[in-house]
Amino acid sequence: MNKIKTIIRKEWAQVFKNRLVLSTVLFMPLLFTAIPLGMLYATRGASGENLTSDMPPQFASLCPKGLTGSECFQVYIVNQFMILFMMTPLIIPVNIAAYSVVGEKTTRSLEPLLATPITTAELLIGKNLAAAIPAVVATWAGFFLYVIGAWILLQSPRVVAALLDPMWWIAVFIVGPLLAILSVNFALMVSSRINEPRVAEQLSVVVILPLLGLFFGQIAGLFLINRQLISLFAMVIAALDALMVYLAIRLFQRETILTRWK
């Protein structure tokens, strides 16, 4: 356990000296919190019963009872952007983890590290946690800011309750960490095989594409994110996580990494 802690502390000490990574960790959650809050602010003054005619019919039918048409519209619009809270735990770890192994390769620090009695599992767990923890903490912090902002901006407790549907709590507190694990292991897997940090980072960004599909699919009205879909998504991501962890460990071959350095 001490070795894992040592790796985490080392990674953080290095990573947070990198301005690009630090700004990503700080700026992205703030931006992704500001967007739904901005939408809330912008739709505060919306009024009129016919606003619901602009929404997909499946949402209108799901619109919580007791909400006026404008309140329902507000919930609908803000829900479009709630998916951003699932982007944060995907993007931040990519930035951290892509540098994790490749960075060690380029600075030639991986060989002395692998020469210590650390096991591959300890090393990868350390690197995983070092990349995932900041992402999850930043996501949760952003979400709490959003909750506080929603209470301040909205006068209607019914709208606040609708916006803070348990679906989004599942998304942020369960799917978020699962996505962070997926992202970290994908980035570690890529960076174990690549020699250039930027290439590793660019390849690792591929992991964001399915979530972007979800985001734009919902905006286009192709489907609607609901509790069932989020639960299903959580299960799929959990299965993918297991696969990614397995692949990351399999692909992290000490010998291959050391002898293929160029």
Partner 1 sequence: MIQTQNLTKKFGDIVAVNQLNLEVHEGEVFGFLGPNGAGKTTTVRMLTSLIAPSDGTAVVNGYTIGKDDQKIRQTVGILTESPGVYDSLSAEYNLEIYANLYEVKDVHGQVEKYLQMLGLWERRQDEAGTFSKGMKQKLAIARALLHEPRILFLDEPTAGLDPEAAHLVRDFIEELRKEGRTIFLCTHNLDEADRLCDRIGVFKSHLLVVDTPANLRSQVFGRKVVFHLRQVNEGYIAALSSEPFVKEVRAVDNKLVVTLDEPESRNPGMIRLLVEAGAEIQFVGELRHSLEDVYLQLVKQD
Question: How far apart are alpha carbons 157 and 66 in whole angstroms?
Answer: 11
How far CA 251 is from CA of 129, 182, 244, in Å, comes to 18, 15, 10
Q: Which is nearer to partner 1, 3 or 44 (CB)?
A: 3
**What's the min distance (Å) between Cβ of 159 and partner 1?**
47
Find the binding residues for partner 1 in span 114-153 (CB under 8 A). Answer: 114-119
The mark string for 14-53 relative to partner 1 (x by CB under 8 A, - otherwise) is x--xx-----------------------------------
HSE-CB at 87 with a 13 A cutoff on CA atoms is: 22
Question: How far apart are alpha carbons 27 and 247 in whole angstroms?
Answer: 31
| AA letter at 138 | A
**What's the min distance (Å) between Cβ of 167 and partner 1?**
41
Rule CB under 8 A: say whether 61 interacts with partner 1.
no
Rule CB under 8 A: say whether 262 interacts with partner 1.
no
Q: Which is nearer to partner 1, 6 or 156 (CB)?
A: 6
Phi–psi pair at 172, nearest 5 degrees: -80, -40
Q: Which is nearer to partner 1, 9 or 198 (CB)?
A: 9
Q: Contact 73/43 with Cβ under 8 angstroms?
A: yes
Which residues sit at the interface with partner 1, rule CB under 8 A? 2-3, 6, 9-10, 13-14, 17-18, 107-119, 254-255, 258-259
